[in-house]
Amino acid sequence: MAASKEQTVSVWGDKVHPKVKISGSGQPLVYLHGGYGLIETELVDELAKSFTVYALPHPGLTSGDEDAIKALDDFWDLVLYYYDLFDKLGLKSPAVVGHSFGGMVAAEVAATDPTRVSKLVLINSLGLWLDEKPIRNYIVTAQTELPALLFKDQHHPALKRIVLNPEDQEGFIRITWALGCTGKFYWPIPDKGLKKRLHRITAPTLLLWGKNDKLLPPAYAEEFKKVIPNAKLETLDGAHMMPLEDPAAVAAAVTRFLK
């Protein structure tokens, strides 16, 4: 495992104090996690074999700084917050990799100010809407339905990171709070207008998609590809949570593209 450290940063007028995990060595890579919090630890470790990975927690998801979510009112606050955080970390134009909700944020950062991102990877990314393939609101989906919706292997050990278990009080609170914090920014999805801005992205872009993704089927990847200039699409034999199920394959595809 690559060496790592944790750096606490003060941003957003000293109202938010995220703990940023920095791992590995090499060119900088920002990783933006999905709606369940920074649970893709194996993927971060795999990426850290080739890059200096900055794993950025969304506001409110740092232990001891949970109330930070109150400092940001809407999605545009969140985008500007990440500009502040990049500046504090000295990241002028890093490669940015985002999964699910993190992909939606990464795409907005790259579209709103194209100079901020040198290369972009969107993994099963939220952010668009197709009326013929509506996105399930997984925050309120029955827990018994989540394995089939999000995983290829419905008995994968990583399921415990997303499924609420009343007997695991700490995990129950973590999952509930993570979904509450991220849900504040990304619902309702159709109203954010990302599609109107994707043409502004100038960074070379990889759309990395699971062909078995039932939350965001590959039609969403094709929709991103239509709008992002010169975007490349690569599909893997995975589902929405492939960063948890097959982190080595995801990291290998990201590394090939970024190198």
Q: Which residues contact 227 (CB under 8 A, 6 or more apart)?
A: 195, 198, 199
- Residue carrying structure tokens 């060119």: 27
Q: Using CB atoms within 10 A of its CB, is residue 8 exposed (0-12), middle (13-18) or buried (19+)?
A: exposed
Show the domains of the chain with their CATH numbers: 4-258 (3.40.50.1820)
Contact 232/258 with Cβ under 8 angstroms? no
Quick one: which of 173, 179, 106 has its CA closest to 146? 179
CA distance 171 to 146: 16
- Local confidence pLDDT in tens for the 259 residues of the chain: 678 899 999 999 999 999 999 999 999 999 999 999 999 999 999 999 999 999 999 998 888 888 889 999 999 999 999 999 999 999 999 999 999 999 999 999 999 999 999 999 999 999 999 999 999 999 889 999 999 999 999 999 999 999 998 889 999 999 999 999 888 988 777 778 999 999 999 999 999 999 999 999 999 999 999 999 999 999 999 999 999 999 999 999 999 999 9
pTM score > 0.85 for this model? yes
Contact 82/102 with Cβ under 8 angstroms? no
Six-digit token string for 217: 């089927």
